Structure 1
Amino acid sequence: MTRAGLVARVLIDSPLPQLDHLFDYSIPPELADLALPGVRVKVPLRSASRVAEGYLIEVLGAPEQAQAEAGAEFQGALSPIDGVVSAAQVLTPAVWQLARRLADRAAGNASDIIRLAVPPRQVRVEKAWLAARAAAGADAVPGDASSATDTVAFFTDYPQDSLGPPVLARQRLCVAAVPDLVPLPDGRTIGLWARTMAELAVATLAAGRSAVLVVPDYRDQDQVQAALDQLAPTGSVSRVDARQPNPDRYRAFLACLEPAPRIVLGNRSAVYAPAHDLGLIALWDDGDPLHSEPLSPYVHARDASLVRQGQADCALVFLGHSRTVEVQRLVEIGWLTEVHPARNRHPRVIPTDFQSEPDPQARAARIPTAAWLAAKEAVKHGPVLVQVASPGYAPMLACQSCKKSARCTTCQGPLGLASASATPSCRWCGALAADWACVHCDGRSLRVVTLGTGRTAEELGRAFPGARVIVADGDHQLQQLGAEPALVIATRGAEPIPTGGYRAILLLDGERMLARESLRVGEDCLRWWSNAAALAGPGAPVILVGVGGVLARSLNNWQPEALAAAELYDRRQLRFPPAVRVASVTGTAADVAVAVVDLAGMDGVDVLGPVSTEPGSAGPGSTGAPLVRAIVRFAYGSTGDDVARLLKAAIVRNAARRRRPKGAAFRPAPTLKVRFDDPELL
């Protein structure tokens, strides 16, 4: 049967918002057998004879059918596609629908999301994959997952039938991770949470469906990979990792296209993996900022997994030692089901009041006497963890009289010095502190203090003569640690995993961590401290220094849901996210006014501002115009879709009206930027 006369609907791979829709092209007879949905194609733009790349989304029977679906009358002949780049159908219908929905929800381009979902093409790898498929034949039997480890012994740390059956029944769960460590036969030690994720994936694979496991970074991937090496069948795991060489990453992506169940493990982009017959999406530690995509349209991995779960009708699991306010909202509205461990075992957390410390030397070292004594005793038997806020020496300024940290009088940020002869300035807003006065004692003299891993290592090296001191931060990466005595000075998130757990854990600089201006600072601190406390050995003390209130109680009782519920209650009163959704509209005053004019009269929509983003800021494209920003607050559901549609129309209008000045090589950059669900907006 011939396929001549068909029409290809193509998505052009372009960041231009005015091109974010499907274009119709005719399919030449010589390309009819290759032009299938999902392949890469080249198409003419008919602008200076340019040829653009894109993806063939669907094939229609005739121009009349394309005309009917578009709802418009077409007169004339369609341009033919220029060529098919490869016969590999790399964009599956499920991934295309996911990209289109997420882009519409965030007023972005679908091609920007597809760029995250489909890695750059590697010709040799792709040709070898196509040849292997052709040799195997179209009737090849999909892989068999029956060799998976027996799942009867899985999930022993949770109540019976609380994890396995709900996941196989495609339910949505919020699972509290067990704060414990697990030794592996090869001598490595991993968090128990990693084994739980591996068990969920293997149970799904044994049922004949694929599982996607999403974790923040390579340290977490290595832990889950180690557990999968022990539990999953050989060759059933595809690791999609940005740190991989491009050929390896593309090879793993192509393996996901096979019509067989697989386990896909990776960071935030793994949520877009083209897994066959998806049965589970599991997300670890969704509050980690690495789950937030820094590129337009800035879709968080949590939001992508929520949308994909609805489209694929699969199970969804959020797993973590702490709980974000976004997940707490889903629990309270009944969209997620809570699952807690069978026994409420957790580290022994001891909050300490640093202000009442009588020893001035202990105050200067930031370690209370009780914490120092606990560390002195524990280091005789094994490793001791000291978590600090910053790496290196973190030079900061303090009051000469009261030794309190010097804060900016404008934004309360920390003061610092760019050089020895420079005027002190704020590290957050940049304001100069030429006439600074301490708010605690009215002192006017400053002194340089140094904190961080480097300074703390020096101080503890003198306090514990003979003890081995190990620094773990971004510049000194260490993942595994033995059981030998040592003092480990680590920044948050960089703590190595010791064999048998730490003998004691000291959580320092809590006051500094809480001083950061952010709506999420409380839940972020609880997440950092909970993840560190989960590395404690049996009975080891976890000493939280200088922090009290609901944060200390939540960590002491190991009830992160209490803090999340309190935060959500407060945000509902203030109409802050996630009680509502928000979007920031940034650009020149004229562009922002035009973009939000249609939103002002909508029910349930608030427009705050616009206000200047920074004094003296200039708009994109070197126009010299100052930037302003408006914040739009709106409800979930159809209201959010309407807001996104109107803002996307404003973006398209703004981009389409730009003209290239005479003599200029390029058009000026767009002067309007929209970002939905900005994590640092408030």
Structure 2
Amino acid sequence: MTPRRVARVLFESPLPQLDRLFDYAIPERLADEAVPGVRVRVPLRTAGRLVDAYVVETDDDPGERPLSEIDAVVSPVPVLTPGLYALARRVADRAAGSAADILRLAIPKRMVRAEKVWASAPEPDAPRVSDESLARADAVIAGFPALGGHLDAGARIALDAPPRPSTAIAVGEWAVVLAAAATRTLARGRSAIVVVPDYRDQAQLTAALALFVDDDAVIRHDADQSNPARYGQFLRSLSTAPCIVVGRRSAVYAPAHDVGLVAIWDDGDPLLSEQLSPGVHARDAALVRQELEGSALLFAGHTRTTEVQRLVEIGFVHEAPAARRPSPRIVLSATREGENRGSRVPSAAFAAAREALAQGPVLVQVARPGYAPSLVCGECRRPARCRHCTGPLRAARPGAVPVCAWCGRAAHSWVCPHCEATTLRMSSSGSERTADELGRAFAGTRVIVSDGQHPLSEVEPRPALVIATRGAEPVVAGGYRAVILLDGERMLQAEALRIGEHCLRWWSNAAALAAPGAPVHLVGVAGPVARALATWTQPAYARAELADRAPLHMPPAVRLATVEGAAKSVDTALATLRTDVPSLGAAAVLGPVVTGELGTAPTARALVRFEYPLGRAVAESLRASVVADALRARRSPRERGPRPRNTLKVRLDVAEPDL
């Protein structure tokens, strides 16, 4: 008797109870098409409908067990490579999530026309790196004596990027360094993946790569493209020809062939943390991928996160210091004796800006966008709140009716609930108000605003005041002639565990845009963060932060998970966790605390702190609780009444605890 062919498929479903492989018989008519990696449509018996799935593997089955048959092959293209499935499965298990959720990020939606174009096109040739380009790349890498050897050995590397603009084009020098490392990898016949936080960084990196390789060697992996273009680029990455993949956080899963380098730029940027379930940071996915594939892994930035510093201290990641340690010219600027302490720009910074404007543009970084991001009562100085939703009020321009930042309602005839005053006062200045104030102070000077509503990637290298919110600073060829960092004290007042780390990153990235020797004024800030910026010793600051968090058992000294949902489900999950992992200890769980109500049932949230060696056991226990809760929420067709809801949610490796 000839054994039948069986396919093991993974459903494209968010339901946690379906996060496993299911066996389906392959009918004779689909024997040649139902191969590992293709999309198929299969019947789901319990739901009585067809669902999409991926064929993970096929095998002969001599048994006679009853199996449903695959209904159709959606696409003959094997988009799920064995390496991609292994990565998705490992990452999902580490984060107590579903592999289908990871694949949803990694594999774009199918576009038939793009697929036909790709199928009819010849196999792309391996891109060639000229000897001249390779020599230029090696010259850049030579600025870091240990970097070349670490790249060739497939090591994990932490690199402090040069804090200066490139002399070749209008990009940061960091982009040239990463482009050189990717070029060196491509020249050795292997692929490289470079992950950046946002489109500004991606544009700089793409421009830097153009100095070394042709455009056909670079593949984009981002959601800014049209769906057909994005799917076409994904299909190109399936080729055996090496390539350089450049993209945002999901690019870390790109199925490029024979990856020799995965590089992460500025891993402290929150944009690299995935918001969709299971919420895996690109840094953690890259670490898992490096373990599976043995490629080199490069963490680069102007600052160093405490996560990377922890890996450096345990010897898991190697440092690659520069041959010469460059640093910007940082000035801690404060109000002098006799000056108004309410003055936003001290005289020293004001004079530096006036002098620099004779030579080129000046960057002024502010905390928030808009005109007046927050308003207070004119009498009692309490924050002005919306009477409908209690959201903060803000003003778009002088004399305008205040608007709620949450619900958008206009606050006509506002009255303070505390003192019954009717006047409002601006308590902060946004980018637009700062532009107005400095525009009057520097009459005749061009003023440019760059923020979320007025995004700019690049400005011309001629005199201008560039007012930008943190992270929205445009680049300029040759660098800014002066940089003024305002609102530093306000930034540090934010209630967050990592606010010092975030501020140091914002200020360092802005300082790196200054021309060599140009002054960078940090206004009104003192303390450890200011000293780290002034001395350009960001790794030392990360080391001190890590040492402070260790006795408090706060991440990244330990791993942190959140468990939230119906109070009964949370209690059950925590009880199961204590049974499954008895070595956790009594102090590992914080909470649960009641957070609200879902219908008539209360909801709760708890934090779980655990050491890294316990990660697998904790993830398996919490994942099992999620699946069990989902199964309890099922209802047979004969049951009546409201359907129970699966509310239990688990997230691991939370960076900012909030209970």
Q: Same fold (TM over 0.5)?
A: yes
Shift of 1:128: 2.1
Match of residue 180 from structure 2: 199
Match of residue 257 from structure 2: 276
Match of residue 352 from structure 2: 374
**Structure 1 counterpart SS, 2:468:** strand
- Residue of 556, 578, 582 corresponding to 2:556: 578
Q: Distance in 1 between matches of 2:422 and 2:499?
A: 30
Match of residue 609 from structure 1: 591
Letter in 1 for 2:287: L
| 1:118-197 correspondence runs (5 A) | 118-132=107-121, 143-147=126-130, 149-153=132-136, 154-156=138-140, 159=143, 161-184=145-168, 188-197=169-178
Kindly tell me: are residues 561 and 9 of structure 1, through their superposed partners in 2, closer, same or farther at Cα, counting changes over 3 Å?
Answer: same
**Cα offsets for 1:224-269 (capped at 9, x unmatched):** 1001112014411111111000111111100000011110000001
**Cα offsets for 1:465-503 (capped at 9, x unmatched):** 111111111111111112211111100111111122111
| 1:64-83 correspondence runs (5 A) | 64=63, 76-83=65-72
CA contact 1:424–1:434 (8 Å) conserved in 2: no
Shift of 1:648: 0.9
CA contact 1:387–1:506 (8 Å) conserved in 2: yes
Match of residue 71 from structure 1: none
Match of residue 620 from structure 2: 645
Shift of 1:345: 1.6
Letter in 2 for 1:652: V
**Structure 2 counterpart SS, 1:574:** coil
Q: Distance in 1 between matches of 2:165 and 2:652?
A: 38
Shift of 1:316: 0.2
Letter in 2 for 1:368: P
Q: Distance in 2 between matches of 1:624 and 1:239?
A: 48
Q: Does 1:465 align with 2:443?
A: yes
| 1:283-294 correspondence runs (5 A) | 283-294=264-275
- Residue of 314, 330, 340 corresponding to 1:349: 330
Match of residue 39 from structure 2: 40
Q: Distance in 1 between matches of 2:428 and 2:163?
A: 33
Match of residue 9 from structure 1: 8
Shift of 1:425: 11
| 1:510-521 correspondence runs (5 A) | 510-521=488-499
Match of residue 88 from structure 1: 77
Q: Distance in 2 between matches of 1:365 and 1:625?
A: 53
CA contact 1:592–1:628 (8 Å) conserved in 2: yes
**Cα offsets for 1:151-178 (capped at 9, x unmatched):** 3333547546421221021011000000
CA contact 2:7–2:24 (8 Å) conserved in 1: yes
| 1:114-513 correspondence runs (5 A) | 114-132=103-121, 143-147=126-130, 149-153=132-136, 154-156=138-140, 159=143, 161-184=145-168, 188-354=169-335, 358-360=338-340, 363-397=341-375, 416-417=392-393, 434-435=417-418, 447-513=425-491
**Structure 1 counterpart SS, 2:656:** coil
Q: Distance in 2 between matches of 1:314 and 1:336?
A: 13
- Residue of 585, 607, 612 corresponding to 1:631: 607
Letter in 2 for 1:338: E
**Cα offsets for 1:578-623 (capped at 9, x unmatched):** 111011001121110001102235213511110123xxx223xxx2
Shift of 1:40: 0.4
Q: Distance in 2 between matches of 1:426 and 1:47?
A: 43
CA contact 1:155–1:196 (8 Å) conserved in 2: no
Q: Distance in 2 between matches of 1:19 and 1:155?
A: 52
CA contact 1:351–1:543 (8 Å) conserved in 2: yes
TM-score (norm 2): 0.91
Q: Distance in 2 between matches of 1:423 and 1:470?
A: 25
CA contact 1:12–1:55 (8 Å) conserved in 2: yes
Q: Does 1:525 align with 2:503?
A: yes
Letter in 2 for 1:635: E
Shift of 1:552: 0.7
Cα-Cα RMSD: 2.9
Q: Distance in 2 between matches of 1:129 and 1:645?
A: 40
CA contact 2:3–2:60 (8 Å) conserved in 1: no
Match of residue 57 from structure 1: 56
Match of residue 542 from structure 1: 520
Match of residue 98 from structure 2: 109
**Cα offsets for 1:96-152 (capped at 9, x unmatched):** 01111111111111000001110000001112222335xx6xxx9x52535465433
Letter in 2 for 1:145: R
**Which stretch shifts more, 373-382 or 576-585?**
373-382
**Structure 1 counterpart SS, 2:577:** coil
Q: Distance in 1 between matches of 2:358 and 2:632?
A: 71
Match of residue 411 from structure 2: none
Shift of 1:340: 1.8
CA contact 1:107–1:647 (8 Å) conserved in 2: yes
Q: Distance in 1 between matches of 2:264 and 2:30?
A: 41
Q: Distance in 2 between matches of 1:307 and 1:433?
A: 54
CA contact 2:532–2:541 (8 Å) conserved in 1: yes
Kindly tell me: are residues 95 and 401 of structure 1, through their superposed partners in 2, closer, same or farther at Cα, counting changes over 3 Å?
Answer: same
Q: Does 1:618 align with 2:597?
A: yes
TM-score (norm 1): 0.88
Kindly tell me: are residues 662 and 465 of structure 1, through their superposed partners in 2, closer, same or farther at Cα, counting changes over 3 Å?
Answer: farther
CA contact 1:599–1:607 (8 Å) conserved in 2: no
**Cα offsets for 1:440-482 (capped at 9, x unmatched):** xxx9997333411111011101111111111111111111112
Shift of 1:649: 1.0
Match of residue 412 from structure 2: none
Shift of 1:417: 3.0
Letter in 2 for 1:35: A
Kindly tell me: are residues 423 and 480 of structure 1, through their superposed partners in 2, closer, same or farther at Cα, counting changes over 3 Å?
Answer: closer
Q: Distance in 2 between matches of 1:116 and 1:126?
A: 19
**Structure 1 counterpart SS, 2:4:** coil
Provide structure 1 residue ranges, at least 5 long, that are not aligned to the other structure. Answer: 65-74, 409-413, 437-442
- Residue of 651, 655, 659 corresponding to 1:679: 655
Q: Distance in 2 between matches of 1:265 and 1:677?
A: 25
**Cα offsets for 1:183-206 (capped at 9, x unmatched):** 44xxx4000000111000000000
Q: Distance in 2 between matches of 1:148 and 1:632?
A: 53
Q: Distance in 1 between matches of 2:298 and 2:101?
A: 26
**Cα offsets for 1:9-54 (capped at 9, x unmatched):** 0001100001000000111111111111100011111235301100
Provide structure 2 residue ranges, at least 5 long, that are not aligned to the other structure. Answer: 385-389, 408-414
Q: Distance in 1 between matches of 2:564 and 2:540?
A: 35
Shift of 1:352: 2.1
Q: Distance in 2 between matches of 1:62 and 1:341?
A: 58
Q: Distance in 2 between matches of 1:541 and 1:598?
A: 58
Shift of 1:350: 0.6
